[in-house]
Chains A and B, each alone.
Chain A
Amino acid sequence: MIKATNVTKKYGGLKALDDFSVDIPEGKIGVLGPNGAGKSTFVKIALGLLTATSGEITVLGEKLTKNTTSIRKRIGYMPEHDCVPDEMTGVEFLIEMGMVSGMSLAGATERTHEILGHLRMGEEKYRLIGEYSGGMRQKVKLAQGLIHAPELIFLDEPTSGLDPNARREMLETINGLTEVSNTKVLLSTHILQDVEMVCDTVIIVKDGKLQMHENVEKIIGEKSNFIQIRVGGPVEDFISELKKKKITAEDDGRVLIVPYKDDSTYDQIIDATVKSNCLLYEMERTTQSMDSVYQEIVE
């Protein structure tokens, strides 16, 4: 879907993207990273809004060169910040955006009402956007990105500034709308739960470099099975006993983390506790979320 090869983008002396290479497959992709990691820069380069200082980028099979505009017929974009005009109604704004994308008045009008229907916006679509709540403004922002039925939509921090309920509703809307519209998604965010809820694949970016590119389910599957242990007594002896059983324990300062293979792992832990004369205070199977994977990579 998007292939970046050795892409570097410099703003003066600052490198927003540093020799960034990635081959993103089709589907719902999350671009995760802390603020200033280079996510928005990557999205803008992929949109053809910014030109990379060096490197090559291909989007939907089209190689982006300087002043590429045609690719934007096939891409939708939902920017991070609030950028919808207060003085227009939702319907007027979406029709205008459709026509600025190249649609006819009739086509834009039809599509506007269909999308707003999917977004469950009733009579309020005829109200001025200035009177909308934060969640409704986000919906309109999402709708304008989908108005011209793009093959791919870039969502830049779509849940930013929303309360938990509005956030959940927005993510459900993204899932729902992209399913019925057959549009691929590139979601740029620093909120891990958004990626978990929407995306199939995640790429993690930090300091303009690619840190990880993995399937979300695989990450959670691989990293989710752990046993958390708290013991009293000679902890080093206990770890040595586990090592003899080919179990590696990680000490995070508060508890020991041991990978769960199957239920026999519990027996091996108990056995190691007895042999090392330790007292077993706690033994609990835990799941590791994207959160810990992300923390691990970013920190």
Chain B
Amino acid sequence: MKKKAQVSDRFRDFDANLTTRPWIVLGMGLRRFEKFFSSKNKVMMGLVVIIYLWTLAFYVLLGNSEDYPCRDFVDEYKSCVPLNYYGDLGSQAGLRLFIISLAAIASGGMIGNDMANKSLHLYLSRPISRIDYLIARFIPVFLLLLMVTAVPNLMVAIAMWSDTGLETEWITNHKWLFVDILVQGIFYSAAYSIIGLTFSTILKKESNASGAFFLFVYGTSIIAETFFSILTAFEIDGSDGVLLLSVSHLLDMISYAIFDAKYYVMAFGWPWEVDIGGTEVGVVFTFIFAGCCGFMYWMILQMEANK
């Protein structure tokens, strides 16, 4: 009896010693990130391995430090390795297909599953706000994508530097390279994470959200490129604007701007310069991503109010 009473006292007087909101959010994010590496996520791990092997084969082993990071491609156009990395599989040995597939799979059930099984209500009954919850769900996808964007690109840069014999002059000549690679990686990772989470919120079912995300990114790209080619063939002014309808082109435009390179699109076997003002790109980007964040917040708010 005495022992039982002691257990009850300890239970009653339990001090939970709760931490603060930022740590709760970070903890939620990191635990989810850790789950990506469980044996249940074989497809995701397979994609990560492919991305690293591809990077090793095409960018490290076949890479040339003399052409790194950029070389003149044709006329005034530059071909930059960190930009090609996010390009298409065939033409630039880019990894876009794998990165988008990974983003689609990782983000698909992130919020949708919580909404479908209604555990979202339990998370929001904790000492975190709706925005905290969204950040906690953003962190794992973002970190995973960072792992396949900025990290391999930085590895390539370091490999190229080591190819030159780790000369300090190389670093001073490319002093912004590492920062640019990091900014570019953060930018792509954040953008794809937000789009993925938005689809997860809209569709709730993991497989549907992943599929829709993939089709949205590739589908809009194909449609925009087709219209761009037709309008360019007929020499119609303002054909460039069509490319803003494609998320991947929109992101590429900003990525090229980070590397101070002119953005071009291949049509009829020739690079066509895309001349869209930074303000227009900025406005469209802000509109899309602020809209995505606002929409996710609103969906959660609606679900909460309606049980």
A residues lining the B interface (CB < 8 Å): 11, 40, 44, 47, 49-50, 67, 69-73, 75-77, 79-86, 96-104, 107, 111, 114, 118, 144, 148-149, 180-182
Decide: B31 and A99 in contact? CB cutoff 8 A.
Answer: yes
Shortest beta-carbon contacts, A-B, top 4: A102-B18, A83-B118, A77-B125, A72-B127
Bound CA span A86–B119, Å? 10
With both chains docked as a complex, state the minimum distance between the C-beta of B158 and any C-beta of chain A, in angstroms. Answer: 35
Bound CA span A290–B10, Å? 36
A-B contact count (CB 8 A): 106
Q: A79-B122, A114-B11, A180-B11 are in contact. Are A73 and B127 (CB under 8 A)?
A: yes
Mostly, the A contact residues are mixed
**Which of these, A50, A97, A114, contacts B304 with CB under 8 Å?**
A50
Decide: B117 and A103 in contact? CB cutoff 8 A.
Answer: no
Nearest residue in B to A41 (C-beta to C-beta)?
B305
Contacts of A73 in B (CB 8 A): 18, 127
Decide: B125 and A70 in contact? CB cutoff 8 A.
Answer: no
Nearest residue in B to A93 (C-beta to C-beta)?
B119
Q: Kindly name the residue among A82, A102, A118 whose own CB sees the greatest number of chain B CB atoms within 10 A.
A: A102
Bound CA span A49–B17, Å? 23
Contacts of A102 in B (CB 8 A): 16, 18-20, 23-24, 126-127
With both chains docked as a complex, state the minimum distance between the C-beta of A131 and any C-beta of chain B, in angstroms. Answer: 15
Q: Kindly name the residue among A83, A99, A148 whose own CB sees the greatest number of chain B CB atoms within 10 A.
A: A83
Nearest residue in A to B125 (C-beta to C-beta)?
A77
**B227: Cβ under 8 A from any A Cβ:** no
Nearest residue in B to A147 (C-beta to C-beta)?
B16
Decide: A111 and B14 in contact? CB cutoff 8 A.
Answer: yes
Decide: A181 and B11 in contact? CB cutoff 8 A.
Answer: yes
Contacts of A100 in B (CB 8 A): 24, 27-28, 123, 126, 128
Nearest residue in A to B9 (C-beta to C-beta)?
A180
Q: Kindly name the residue among B16, B23, B121, B305 whose own CB sees the greatest number of chain A CB atoms within 10 A.
A: B16
Decide: B127 and A70 in contact? CB cutoff 8 A.
Answer: yes
Decide: A79 and B127 in contact? CB cutoff 8 A.
Answer: no
Q: A11-B305, A40-B307 are in contact. Are A69 and B129 (CB under 8 A)?
A: yes
**Which of these, B12, B120, B127, contacts A101 with CB under 8 Å?**
B127
Bound CA span A67–B297, Å? 14
Bound CA span A293–B132, Å? 44
With both chains docked as a complex, state the minimum distance between the C-beta of A86 and any C-beta of chain B, in angstroms. Answer: 7
**B21: Cβ under 8 A from any A Cβ:** yes
Decide: B18 and A181 in contact? CB cutoff 8 A.
Answer: no
Contacts of B126 in A (CB 8 A): 72, 97, 100-102
